[in-house]
Structure 1
Amino acid sequence: MTLRASLLLGLTALSLAACARTTVLPIAADEVELTAYVAPVCGAWGAQKMALHDAAVETLRAHYSRFIVMDAGAADDVRVLMRTPTIAQTYGSATVTGTPGYATASGSSTTLYTGGLPIVAGTHDETLVLRLFHRTDPGAENAVSARSVLGPQWQKALAHGFPHTC
């Protein structure tokens, strides 16, 4: 295996090992800023989906039950780093027939190209500023239930925490 192929394999393995992460910044006792970062393959939709899931997890971890998204923003720095090598392989055949002093040749060839695939890096990011509510707090009736976001298996989702894949 060439050095370049080894490098490409290593980059691919790293990108799949942890294609998502989340950071949480406390702003106040009942407010947090949460940012979800996902791999390019997840897209902006994957970042939004993960941010919502992680908002519900963080709400429950902080011993609240509901949240309102006060502000949201998105960004990305996805780019093509390089392309895999392009390889051309030509296959052909020829037939020659002839008699003394005269020959006829005919043939064909086909060239197949492989490689040239983009190697993409960067992340899609989604930032949410959340206000957290207890079930009985004023304004909680308009807030989103963290348990409903996580679904019937909310306890399992809470135990697993923030996912590492989109």
Structure 2
Amino acid sequence: MSKDTFKIATNAAPACGPNGARNVAFKSASVEVIRRGYDKFVIVGDNHNSDFWSGAHEQDMVVRIIPEGSREAANALSARQQLGDDWQEQLAKGSPTTCG
């Protein structure tokens, strides 16, 4: 999308529900921010769609990377904090493919 903005698009099983789909997308965004060499980010777009017949859930997020030290950094989310204390292990595993 641009040098500081990217889109995450995920699908989640019926058992995950809409919140599980959002969590998968959010963790995927956090992993990608760290992979790009940053920690801070904001969600600038968020879209959810559920398929009634299959029960599947789709979650799209548009993520903007925020450089450390910028005036926006104080209000941005930390990718490492979003992933938790084991963020390095989660980063090594890559983006989650399911909730749970």
Which of residues 59, 63, 69 is equivalent to 1:126? Answer: 59
Q: Is 1:139 aligned to residue 72 of structure 2?
A: yes
Aligned length in residues: 99
Query: 1:35 touches 1:51 (CA, 8 Å); kept in 2?
Result: yes
Q: Give 1:46's aligned residue.
A: 20
Cα distance in 2 between the residues matched to 1:55 and 1:62: 11
Map of 2:48 onto structure 1: 74
The CA RMSD measured in Å over matched residues stands at 1.2
Confirm whether residue 61 of structure 1 aligns to residue 35 of structure 2: yes
TM (normalized to structure 2)?
0.91
What is the percent sequence identity of the aligned residues? Answer: 35
Equivalent residue number for residue 31 of structure 1: 5
The amino acid across from 2:38 in the alignment is Y
More strand by proportion, 1 or 2? Answer: 1
The one-letter amino acid of 1:149's match is Q
The secondary structure found in structure 2 opposite 1:28 is coil
Distance 1:163 1:78 in 2: 24
* Conservation of the 8 A alpha-carbon contact between 1:40 and 1:78: no
Which 5+ residue runs of structure 1 have no aligned equivalent?
1-26, 80-120
Question: Residue 78 of structure 1 contacts residue 124 of structure 1 at CA under 8 Å; is this kept in 2?
Answer: no
Opposite residue 135 of structure 1, the aligned amino acid is E
Quote the offset at 1:155 in angstroms: 0.4
* Higher Rg: 1
**What's the counterpart of residue 86 of structure 2?**
153
Distance apart, 1:122 and its partner CA: 5.1
Secondary structure (helix, strand or coil) at the match of 2:49 reads strand
How far has the Cα of 1:55 moved from its partner? Answer: 1.0
| Equivalences for residues 15-26 of structure 1 within 5 A | none
Q: Distance in 2 between matches of 1:133 and 1:42?
A: 30
- Measured after TM superposition, the shift of residue 123 of structure 1 is 2.0
TM-score w.r.t. structure 1 length?
0.57
Which of the two has greater helix per residue? 2
